[in-house]
């Protein structure tokens, strides 16, 4: 659908052909007359209401292509295309970083939920061991003094 040297009416007929619809049926459904799409009439323009009906009935049709005969990005420089690709890459990278942060927070939360009680118990046991060691050490000193 990207022929360059075509008229808008030829591109409209190309839409019908690509959709497998007869020209007469396609144009009739758009309130257009096939007579205006043949011979010298094919070289004349088309009104905006007709264009509106086409893109309303067939939203998948690229309006830019329909009017100009060129794909949207056909005239952009390679630099602009590269910039767009970089923007997409950067957005993807940002999304990746955000997902990584979210996953880390979820893992940390789950880890803390599951191991916090165990950590508290270990800390309690460690305190008891230290208290016991201090007490034993204090009693050893007292025995030596006696």
Question: How confident is the model over 20-66, as pLDDT tens digits?
Answer: 999 999 999 999 999 999 999 888 889 888 998 998 999 898 888 88
| Mean pLDDT over the full length of the chain | 80
In this structure, the number of other CB atoms found within 10 A of the CB of residue 119 comes to 11
3-class SS of residue 104:
helix
From CA 70, how far away is CA 137, in angstroms rounded?
91
pTM over 0.85: no
pLDDT band for 80, please (50, 70, 90 cuts). low
Residue 13 · residue 3 · CB < 8 Å: no
Q: Averaged over 11-26, what is the pLDDT?
A: 94
> What stretches of 4-77 show up as alpha helix (H) in DSSP?
8-19, 23-29, 48-57, 63-68
Highest-confidence range of 23-32, 69-78, 91-100, 132-141, by mean pLDDT? Answer: 23-32
Quickly count helices (H) and strands (E) in the chain: 5, 0
Domain range annotation of the chain: 8-68
Rounded to an integer, what distance in angstroms lies between the CA atom of residue 14 and that of residue 60? 14
pLDDT of 4 > 80? The answer is no
Q: Among 75-89, 95-109, 128-142, which is the least confidently predicted range?
A: 75-89
């Amino acid at each position: 659908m990207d022929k360059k040297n075509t008229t808008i009416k030829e591109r409209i007929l190309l839409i019908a052909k690509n959709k497998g619809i007869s020209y007469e049926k396609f144009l009739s459904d758009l309130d257009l007359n096939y007579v205006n799409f043949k011979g010298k009439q094919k070289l004349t323009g088309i009104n905006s209401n007709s264009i509106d009906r086409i893109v309303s009935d067939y939203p998948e049709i690229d309006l830019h292509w329909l009017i100009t005969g060129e794909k949207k990005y056909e005239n952009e420089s390679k630099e602009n295309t590269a910039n767009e690709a970089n923007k997409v890459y950067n957005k993807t990278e940002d999304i990746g970083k955000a997902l990584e942060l979210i996953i880390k927070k979820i893992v940390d939360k789950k880890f803390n939920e599951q191991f916090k009680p165990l950590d508290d118990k270990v800390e309690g046991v460690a305190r008891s061991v230290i208290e016991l060691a201090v007490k034993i050490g204090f009693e050893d000193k007292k025995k030596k003094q006696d």
